């Protein structure tokens, strides 16, 4: 097989596993199977019954090309073009961060806060997702809160195109509006009489000095603008804490995802800005991952 890709399903999988493992890819067995299943248009589980099957040259070559991309540490999600988040399928490309399970706590708690507000007589009408990227937060909130309208903001036109397609694919395009611009600036286009029930944000929070230590899949492939604000890892939280209150309705809240070890510092910024009822929530791994704060009712 040296110099080319040919052989049976079993032989190709073994070769792919070896190449991915040599490149430092964790879970090389699993990822090789996913890549071949993608080429063949079947499930990874179906490959076991096809191990003795010889692949046509075109399929074998296509598989080899995908393995080479993954061995170069291109994220599997970019190669396959999709990622799952909160039971929904999202298209992804190098224009957007790959949705992560870490973010689920932000969505879950935001929906809980908005639901409690609705039960208290304030229907969750208008929600903002700032720095929407793939649209994962905006789309998930819209799916979980059928009466809500979401305004999704990003500085990147390419990211907004991906997010808009994800809203369409997940059936919420009629309730998610997309605006391009820097942080909260596009939200000010709303009428002065209309304010948001919630502003949600997963901002860039990795300090520039930390970037070299990231996994190659993140460091070399995901959009740097969505990873790091520069030297000050808390730069966007400072701006959000300062600017969000004027855009929130009475009793509305700001909720942000934070990096490991940042929760208390961000909670302090919220407190200094006058937010009330500040709460910190851990992700599924027990890492403090989301900070919430409300404005006075």
Binding-site sequence positions for substrate: 202-205
- How far is residue 35 from each of residues 89, 97, 205, measured CA to CA in Å? 17, 20, 31
Residue numbers in the known binding site for S-adenosyl-L-methionine are 131-135, 154, 202
- Distance CA(30)–CA(12), nearest Å, equals 13
- Distance CA(260)–CA(29), nearest Å, equals 30
The answer to whether the CB of 256 falls within 8 A of the CB of 237 is yes
**Those residues with Cβ within 8 angstroms of residue 156's Cβ, 6 or more apart along the chain or in another chain:** 95, 180, 223, 225, 226
Burial class of residue 6, CB neighbours in 10 A (0-12, 13-18, 19+): middle
Sheet containing strand 276-282, edge to edge, reads: 176-180, 149-154, 126-130, 196-201, 248-257, 288-294, 276-282
For 207-238, b where at least 16 C-beta lie within 10 A, e where not — what string? beeeeeeeeebbbebbbeebbbbeeebbbbbe
- Distance CA(235)–CA(131), nearest Å, equals 14
Residue numbers in the known binding site are 131-135, 154, 202-205
Q: What angle do CA 198, 121, 183 make, to 5 degrees?
A: 10
């Amino acid at each position: 097989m040296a110099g080319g890709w040919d052989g049976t399903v079993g032989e190709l999988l073994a070769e792919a596993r070896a190449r991915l493992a040599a490149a430092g890819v964790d879970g090389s067995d699993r990822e090789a199977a996913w890549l071949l299943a993608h080429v063949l248009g079947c499930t990874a589980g179906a490959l076991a019954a096809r191990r003795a099957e010889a692949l046509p040259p075109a399929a074998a070559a296509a598989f080899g090309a995908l393995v080479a991309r993954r061995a170069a540490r291109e994220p599997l999600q970019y190669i396959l073009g999709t990622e799952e988040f909160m039971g929904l399928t999202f298209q992804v490309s190098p224009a957007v961060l790959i949705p992560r399970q870490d973010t689920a706590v932000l969505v879950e708690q935001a929906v809980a806060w908005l639901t409690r507000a609705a039960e208290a007589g304030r229907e969750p009408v208008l929600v903002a997702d700032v720095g929407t990227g793939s649209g994962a937060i905006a789309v998930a909130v819209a799916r979980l809160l059928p009466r809500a309208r979401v305004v999704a903001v990003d500085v990147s036109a390419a990211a907004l195109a991906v997010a808009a397609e994800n809203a369409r694919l997940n059936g919420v395009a009629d309730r998610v509006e997309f605006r391009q611009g820097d942080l909260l600036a596009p939200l000010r286009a709303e009428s002065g009489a209309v304010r948001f029930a919630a502003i949600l944000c997963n901002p860039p929070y990795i300090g520039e000095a930390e970037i070299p230590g990231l996994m190659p899949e993140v460091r070399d492939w995901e959009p740097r603008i969505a990873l790091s604000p520069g030297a000050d890892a808390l730069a966007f939280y400072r701006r959000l804490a300062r600017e969000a209150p004027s855009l929130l309705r009475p009793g509305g809240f700001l909720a942000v995802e934070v990096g490991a070890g940042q929760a208390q510092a961000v909670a302090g910024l919220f407190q200094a800005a006058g937010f009330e009822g500040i709460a910190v929530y851990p992700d599924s791994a027990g890492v403090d991952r989301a900070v919430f704060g409300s404005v006075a009712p």
